[in-house]
Amino acid sequence: MRLKQVSVFVENEPGRLEAILEVLEGAKISIRALSVSDTAEFGIVRMILDKPEEGLQALRQAEFTTRVDWMLSAQIPDVPGGLLNSVAKPMAKAGINIKYFYAYIGHAGEDKAMVVLKTNDIEKAEEILKSLSVD
């Protein structure tokens, strides 16, 4: 399924993640998934929010540099090879480049995991994930 990801670009220094999280807490926005990556001077905080438009507005009002991207989310088996066989192999076979992704475990005991991914062809990737659905 498609969902919006909110990215925040910040200086790579102490307290910047805290400031982002405080803005979201103040706006009563919950984070569903989170990825933080860095370079020497800057970091990118990528988030799936329960209310992406409200979260984006709150972050922009707090003068953070933000961006919104459409992402794909899919449920995959939480087993050895689950990511390989449910995402990596089918995408490679179709010639789709996975630009980046992050994963998380849903509710305990479900034997399923969730992945959020950005590809070079969202329509084709979405079709592949739907055809392999494990929901």
Instruction: Note the pLDDT of residue 107.
Output: 58
- Which CATH number is correct for 71-131, 1.10.10.10, 3.20.20.120, 3.30.300.30, 3.30.2130.10? 3.30.2130.10
- Give CA torsion, residues 117, 74, 25, 9, to 10 deg: 0
The CATH number corresponding to 2-69 among 2.60.15.10, 3.40.50.150, 3.40.190.10, 3.30.2130.10 equals 3.30.2130.10
Measured between alpha carbons, how far is 75 from 117 in angstroms, rounded to an integer? 12
- Give the whole-angstrom CA distance, residue 7 versus residue 36: 10
Do 2-69 and 71-131 share a fold? yes
Q: Check residue 97 and give its pLDDT.
A: 96
pLDDT tens, position by position, for the chain (135 residues)?
899 999 999 998 889 999 999 999 999 999 999 999 988 889 999 999 999 999 999 999 999 999 999 999 998 988 999 999 999 999 999 999 999 998 877 654 567 778 888 899 999 999 988 887 654
Domain boundaries, the chain: 2-69, 71-131
Q: What are the distances in angstroms from CA 115 to CA 81, 124, 126?
A: 14, 17, 13
